[in-house]
Chains A and B, each alone.
Chain A
Amino acid sequence: DTGVSQNPRHKITKRGQNVTFRCDPISEHNRLYWYRQTLGQGPEFLTYFQNEAQLEKSRLLSDRFSAERPKGSFSTLEIQRTEQGDSAMYLCASSPTWDWGYTFGSGTRLTVV
């Protein structure tokens, strides 16, 4: 297993466009998490899945954000009608249990111009 894989690594998009990111977790991990990180801040929770079920979504997350994990394998995070404030590093992580540490991917750096 090569760890958690995220694609693309970098994305530049114009304001108002939609973007989609993909995360492939470690295959034995049934929990998958999405976090967002801006410069000088720690990762901020967005949402998480146990298998294919989305169990929690941050109240800070607008309706423009949606995530899926079909068949409990890879996950996608879509942002509709991007805004400049969406510019951040989007991190995906997976874990085998609910209270152990996470294995993070390298992230997707989004820049909205």
Chain B
Amino acid sequence: TQLLEQSPQFLSIQEGENLTVYCNSSSVFSSLQWYRQEPGEGPVLLVTVVTGGEVKKLKRLTFQFGDARKDSSLHITAAQPGDTGLYLCAGHLTNAGKSTFGDGTTLTVKP
């Protein structure tokens, strides 16, 4: 079983719509990251959250870390075609040396 489950796996919406994608686990993380990846390129770090209940905003993107530090969500307001990509969450277990990634949500925003 995957340590991090991301949902939905695929999401296709029209420009201007809002959306939320989820990253869930039964494990507690010391930190959690969200990345965006375009085809043929490496993931690009969007945000790191470390405190339970933390909310971070990056322009139209809002990231929330669950109170128990087991889950996270990414909300995009007024999506644009440039938001199209694979959104990956990655968690860092306490005392673990590396991050574990989910399989991502593929977002397509149609003009």
**Which A residues form the contact surface with B (CB < 8 A)?**
4, 33, 35, 40-45, 48, 50, 55-56, 91, 93, 98-107, 109
Contacts and interface: CB of A to CB of B under 8 A. Distances in A.
Residue from A42, A102, A107 with most neighbouring chain B CB atoms (10 Å): A42
A104 B43 contact: yes
Residue from B43, B98, B101 with most neighbouring chain A CB atoms (10 Å): B98
Interface residues of B, number: 26
A107 B40 CA distance: 8
Contacts of B41: 106-107
Interface of B: 4, 6, 30-31, 33, 35, 40-45, 47-48, 50, 88, 90, 92, 97-104
Contacts of B35: 101, 104
Closest 9 CB pairs of A and B: A104-B42, A42-B101, A101-B45, A101-B33, A99-B31, A99-B92, A42-B103, A101-B48, A43-B101
